[in-house]
Amino acid sequence: MALRTLDSLGSLAGRRVIVRVDFNVPLKDGVITDDGRVRAALPTLNHLINQGARVIACSHLGRPAGAPDPKYSLEPVAQRLSELLGKPVAFARDTVGESAQEAVAALEDGDVAVIENLRFNPGETAKDEAERRAFAEQLAGLGDALVSDGFGVVHRKQASVYDLAEILPSAAGYLIEKEVDVLDRLTENPERPYTVVLGGSKVSDKLGVIAHLLPRVEKLCVGGGMMFTFLKAQGYEVGKSLLEEDQLDTVKGYMATAAEKGVELVLPVDAVVAASFAADADHVTADADKLEDTPFGADGLGLDIGPKTAELFADAIRGSKTVFWNGPMGVFEMDAFAAGTKAVAEALTDVDGLSVVGGGDSAAAVRQLGFADDQFGHISTGGGASLEFLEGKKLPGLEVLGWQ
């Protein structure tokens, strides 16, 4: 069965439409540092506004412990949304209480309200189905239909994502529709050659996606903190770099599978090694088989891929028709260790085909490093959800919308 889309809901003029968005944005001292997820919701919200719907946007932000916590309030997001839409946005100071009821009752056709962080209510993430369902029933009382557009949470069986979609007439918004279309292209009949670039800190976070994609790609490039487990599996010493000893056998299995299937496993040939984990730490570049032959000896920490590796990865990317990248190549937040991530991002902007940045830290990195969203084919809004989709897992927030 195909995903139910907005058209399936018919005319929404004058109807109260709950939109489950993903406004889980990074905040610093109450200020949004990256509004990419808010902007990603605009096509769906503007469509509903133009139809004359009464829009109730709801989201989580961070991980409050099922109770109100001012540092996780969605109020700054509601203010930013108002600026982006160019119109007033009402803000309710609770999820389903008096403030939410009043805000929704005051809506006229084409108006927008944002209700407070869903996770301030323990029912949103409850493992107990009855508790979760009870909260979903309360949410359903605010609206006549649900548009699910928070791709970053579709892998979670949560009240606003799953149960609410069973209670109200529901459909996917434009963002989820686009995400599913792009990720489906990465798993079913991708244009070739197809290269996947994986980084981030841990191999264990990427086990499923490596196993599922290995038979489907021509090249797999491995950087980030996870590269040191691969280097150790090759027999190299890695000093005090991030290492998952318990994954060495798994990694050796991947290397054998790649060789057997003719997949080119592109592993780092050099790395930037530092004296400590600090922005101003002394650092040098060392070949992959000599990471402990630096002034720091066995105490050195690998914090980025080296320039030769960056060039190898960039060549693999530019020579491909389809590229999926998830996970930074190094500690990009520190200038000294951002060059590898920047080189990968630059190469992706040159792809003559489909280039996909896989959400989470990768999306944050490209924006922090000065790239514009439209320089890439697609920037996913859901790191974990993207990976689980590419692992071939069933995602409850999509299944409830008809996706098989």
Residue 368 DSSP symbol? H
Query: How far apart are the two ends of the chain, measured CA to CA in Å?
Result: 6
* 16 is an annotated ligand-binding site residue: no
Q: Is 232 a catalytic residue?
A: no
Question: Which of 387, 239, 255 minimizes the C-alpha distance to 247?
Answer: 255
CA angle, 157 then 158 then 159, to 5°:
135
Question: Which of 150, 157, 139 minimizes the C-alpha distance to 172?
Answer: 150
Q: Are 161 and 20 in contact (CB under 8 A)?
A: yes
Q: Is 20 a catalytic residue?
A: no
Tokens 């650092």: give the residue.
283
Q: Are 361 and 200 in contact (CB under 8 A)?
A: yes
Is the backbone peptide bond immediately before 193 cis, with ω within 30 degrees of 0? yes
* 60 is an annotated ligand-binding site residue: yes
* 292 is an annotated ligand-binding site residue: no
* 22 is an annotated ligand-binding site residue: yes
Active-site residue, from 39, 93, 185, 202? 202
Q: Is 208 a catalytic residue?
A: no
Residue 224 DSSP symbol? S
Tokens 């962080």: give the residue.
117
* 156 is an annotated ligand-binding site residue: yes
* 119 is an annotated ligand-binding site residue: yes
* 333 is an annotated ligand-binding site residue: yes
Decide: helix, strand or coil at residue 94: coil
- Cα distances from 333 to residues 33, 193, 228, 278, in angstroms, run 13, 31, 19, 10
* 80 is an annotated ligand-binding site residue: no
Q: Is 37 a catalytic residue?
A: yes
In one-letter notation, the amino acid at residue 127 is K
Kindly state the tokens that stand for 312. Answer: 């190898």
* 181 is an annotated ligand-binding site residue: no
In one-letter notation, the amino acid at residue 153 is V
* 206 is an annotated ligand-binding site residue: yes
Active-site residue, from 223, 300, 360, 383? 360
Active-site residue, from 4, 16, 20, 37? 37
Active-site residue, from 66, 253, 353, 384? 384
Decide: helix, strand or coil at residue 324: strand
Q: Are 238 and 274 in contact (CB under 8 A)?
A: no
Residue 72 DSSP symbol? G
What is the C-alpha to C-alpha distance for residues 284 and 360, in angstroms, rounded to an integer?
A: 28
* 359 is an annotated ligand-binding site residue: yes
What is the C-alpha to C-alpha distance for residues 37 and 209, in angstroms, rounded to an integer?
A: 24
Which residue positions form the known binding site?
22-24, 37, 60-63, 119, 156, 206, 302, 333, 359-362
Which residue positions form the known binding site for (2R)-3-phosphoglycerate?
37, 119, 156
Just list the catalytic residues. 37, 202, 360, 384
Which residue positions form the known binding site for ATP?
206, 302, 333, 359-362
